[in-house]
Structure 1
Amino acid sequence: MVADVSYTGPDFDPPRQRRTRRAPLTVAFAALVPGALLGWLVYEAAGGGAGRTASPAPAPRSATVSGITPAASPGDDAKASGSPSARPGGAGPLRGKVVVVDPGHNPGNFHHTAEINRQVDIGTNRKECDTTGTSTDDGYTEARFTLDVAHRLRTLLEEQGATVRLTRDDDSPAWGPCVDERARIGNTARADAAISIHADGSAEGDRGFHVILPGSVHAGAADTRAIVGPSHDLGVRVAGTFLRETGEPPSNYVGDGTGFVTRTDLGGLNLSTVPKVFIECGNMRDSKDAALLTSGAWRQRAAQGISEGIVSFLRGS
């Protein structure tokens, strides 16, 4: 769930209207999508998925999605190692590159409603500093999910030589940071790429992932015009590799089956001066998606998919 949407907890997540049919994809847009995602989208555009809930593509490698055992135990979470701030990268193809990873929300936000409800400037208007995020019906929170995926992603990117900074970590303040500060962290680091990790909180039966791209904004403190193009490139690459590694389909309830949504109301994107996208990895309130999101094995694949998209973007390959 994106940080700029105001929710006070799982019981208050408003259902979204499901879409039962996909709009045809334009040739120009589809031509930009990597092979793995393109194959899915061509199938959907041809009517193969019309009128039904999307089901996941076959899982990669030897594991199958149905074979994953859901687990939300603390021992299944990836553990942070070393400093939570930027750590210098080692030898590898991404040496000299800086990536900022933004794990959405904070577990302490539930106890700091006054602080996170404070209005901040996002360029186009003012919105809440942050929100609580959502959770599965069993109580596995989005904030815990996003930090776990961020830890796994950091490890993978550091193995490629990148310097990685998280916007929050285990020893972060008790709440936040605010959405404007999350953007500022990426800007100050002069990140070559930034990604905000989330999971959605829609209705049962709403499934799949989607990548949120920044729209063109030039208002107040926001000016995304220089990053719209590279952010689109980053998002397309991440979507393709995420689908390939996880088998999670593009969302069947937003984005018309494309796996992409462009928004101009998110402070984390509006205020960014570096290429940045959000990824909603799945819907925590759908039982099938929740079984994946609570699996450490699947979260590792999610991190792998995101990592491969970022590596592809930074290497221009």
Structure 2
Amino acid sequence: MPYDDSPPTARRARPLPAAAALAAVCLTAAGCGGGPEAGEAGAASPRPGGGVSRTAPTPTGRQPEPAGSVRPTPSGSPEAPPSGSASAKPPPKGPLTGRTVVIDPGHNPRNRDHTREINEQVDIGTGRKECDTTGTSTDDGYAEARFTLDVSHRLRTLLEAKGARVRLTHDADRPFGPCIDERARIGNEAKADAVVSVHADGSAVDNRGFHVILPARVKGGGADTSKIVKSSADLGARIAGHFVRTTGSAPSNYIGGNTGLDTRNDLGGLNLSTVPKVFVECGNMRDPKDAALLTSASWRQKAAQGLADGITGYLKG
């Protein structure tokens, strides 16, 4: 779930960029390798009856965990412990040698212990929003923040094996956050070739599937996405195509018109980025069928592989 505050009520699907047409082809093609490509993503997802599911300060069903603890996932496999935001050793030579990728694990497991700090407003260029949010969780208490870190660790390993220089915006190595403006700044300062923010949604039961959130063209204050809209759309379309093929998950049936893509102008992490960036909502934690996937270690590995393949396809052109 994106780490910005909840989006406007009665949010409507926004028009997709031109790359969406190519994505629609890629999503149904067997190859997908040559095609183009969300909480802050914690978007409010449409609910039956016109309501929305919002990012809650304390998601229901979450079980108490010691701050900063590493606990087994519902599938029984322990999550990787924090190991620093940057890799300790240079990656091997490979097809992504010389490329820099920033992975942004949505939320922070300890945000719930710092509600005052994460509720502080920060400037996102076109307005102000909360520093961060707690994220959502499955009904049995598997937190989105744990999911995003686990997938991010797996994704880092895959990208480094291809020679990429990888940095995480955080690795549960800080008491809360980082704030959404800092998350964008980390990617900008790294001059990243691609930034991917990893999330899982918190929508209604029967809302299933993944979607990739693309930056809209916005300009105001410190926000100006004019130079990254096209490249981010390409990155997002490639990720969407590979995610379908690798995970077997379908594009969202409630956002994006079955393309797996959604364009938004209300997320600070995208508005403030000066490098190609997308958010990926890997599934809906509040739907039992999607939750069964998200809590499976083997499926999370497939999700990481789909993300890695999409990023690789984008960087190799």
- Aligned partner of 1:37 in structure 2 is 27
Give the whole-Å Cα distance in 1 for the aligned partners of 2:137 and 2:175.
Answer: 18
Letter in 1 for 2:100: V
- Aligned partner of 1:46 in structure 2 is none
Provide TM-score, normalisation by structure 1. 0.81
**As a proportion of its length, which structure holds more helix?**
1
* Pair 1:275 & 2:285 matched: no
- Aligned partner of 1:173 in structure 2 is 174
Deviations 1:205-241 (A, max 9, x none): 0000000000011100001100001000000000000
- Aligned partner of 1:212 in structure 2 is 213
- Aligned partner of 1:55 in structure 2 is none
Segment drifting more, 222-231 vs 73-82: 73-82
Instruction: Report how far residue 73 of structure 1 moved.
Output: 4.2
* Pair 1:3 & 2:3 matched: yes
Q: For the Cα contact (< 8 Å) 1:140–1:294, is it kept in 2?
A: yes
1:189 and 1:86, CA in 2 relative to 1: closer, same or farther beyond 3 A?
A: farther
1:17 and 1:100, CA in 2 relative to 1: closer, same or farther beyond 3 A?
A: closer
Give the whole-Å Cα distance in 1 for the aligned partners of 2:11 and 2:292.
Answer: 22
- Aligned partner of 1:58 in structure 2 is none
- Aligned partner of 1:308 in structure 2 is 309
1:251 and 1:34, CA in 2 relative to 1: closer, same or farther beyond 3 A?
A: closer
Give the whole-Å Cα distance in 1 for the aligned partners of 2:27 and 2:170.
Answer: 30
- Aligned partner of 1:257 in structure 2 is 258
Q: What is the percentage of aligned positions where both structures have the same residue?
A: 62
Give the whole-Å Cα distance in 1 for the aligned partners of 2:12 and 2:289.
Answer: 16
1:296 and 1:196, CA in 2 relative to 1: closer, same or farther beyond 3 A?
A: same
1:239 and 1:77, CA in 2 relative to 1: closer, same or farther beyond 3 A?
A: farther
Give the whole-Å Cα distance in 1 for the aligned partners of 2:98 and 2:161.
Answer: 13
1:18 and 1:192, CA in 2 relative to 1: closer, same or farther beyond 3 A?
A: closer
Give the whole-Å Cα distance in 1 for the aligned partners of 2:82 and 2:125.
Answer: 36
- Aligned partner of 1:68 in structure 2 is none
Give the whole-Å Cα distance in 1 for the aligned partners of 2:111 and 2:310.
Answer: 30
Unaligned runs of 5+ residues in structure 2 are 31-71
Letter in 2 for 1:218: K
Give the whole-Å Cα distance in 2 for the aligned partners of 1:140 and 1:155.
Answer: 23
Deviations 1:173-231 (A, max 9, x none): 11100000000000011000000000000010000000000001110000110000100
Instruction: Report how far residue 38 of structure 1 moved.
Output: 3.3
- Aligned partner of 1:100 in structure 2 is 102
Q: For the Cα contact (< 8 Å) 2:75–2:296, is it kept in 1?
A: no
Give the whole-Å Cα distance in 1 for the aligned partners of 2:310 and 2:206.
Answer: 27
Instruction: Report how far residue 84 of structure 1 moved.
Output: 2.9
- Aligned partner of 2:55 in structure 1 is none
Q: For the Cα contact (< 8 Å) 2:101–2:195, is it kept in 1?
A: yes
Give the whole-Å Cα distance in 2 for the aligned partners of 1:109 and 1:83.
Answer: 18
Instruction: Report how far residue 151 of structure 1 moved.
Output: 0.1
Give the whole-Å Cα distance in 2 for the aligned partners of 1:298 and 1:18.
Answer: 30
Unaligned runs of 5+ residues in structure 1 are 8-14, 20-24, 41-70
Give the whole-Å Cα distance in 2 for the aligned partners of 1:267 and 1:34.
Answer: 27
Instruction: Report how far residue 5 of structure 1 moved.
Output: 2.7
Instruction: Report how far residue 79 of structure 1 moved.
Output: 1.9
Partner SS, residue 281 of structure 2: strand
Partner SS, residue 110 of structure 2: helix
1:196 and 1:176, CA in 2 relative to 1: closer, same or farther beyond 3 A?
A: same
- Aligned partner of 2:156 in structure 1 is 154
1:116 and 1:85, CA in 2 relative to 1: closer, same or farther beyond 3 A?
A: same
Instruction: Report how far residue 74 of structure 1 moved.
Output: 8.2
- Aligned partner of 1:79 in structure 2 is 80
Deviations 1:45-88 (A, max 9, x none): xxxxxxxxxxxxxxxxxxxxxxxxxx824851442585432453
- Aligned partner of 1:163 in structure 2 is 165
* Pair 1:287 & 2:292 matched: no
Deviations 1:240-283 (A, max 9, x none): 00110001111111112111110011000000010000000000
Q: For the Cα contact (< 8 Å) 2:20–2:261, is it kept in 1?
A: no
Residues paired across the two proteins, number: 275
- Aligned partner of 1:112 in structure 2 is 114
* Pair 1:183 & 2:200 matched: no
- Aligned partner of 2:57 in structure 1 is none
1:249 and 1:18, CA in 2 relative to 1: closer, same or farther beyond 3 A?
A: farther
Give the whole-Å Cα distance in 1 for the aligned partners of 2:11 and 2:271.
Answer: 26
- Aligned partner of 2:63 in structure 1 is none
Q: For the Cα contact (< 8 Å) 1:30–1:38, is it kept in 2?
A: no
Q: For the Cα contact (< 8 Å) 1:16–1:202, is it kept in 2?
A: no
Instruction: Give me the CA root mean square deviation.
Output: 2.7
Letter in 2 for 1:33: A
Q: For the Cα contact (< 8 Å) 1:201–1:285, is it kept in 2?
A: yes
Letter in 2 for 1:200: D
Give the whole-Å Cα distance in 1 for the aligned partners of 2:299 and 2:213.
Answer: 21
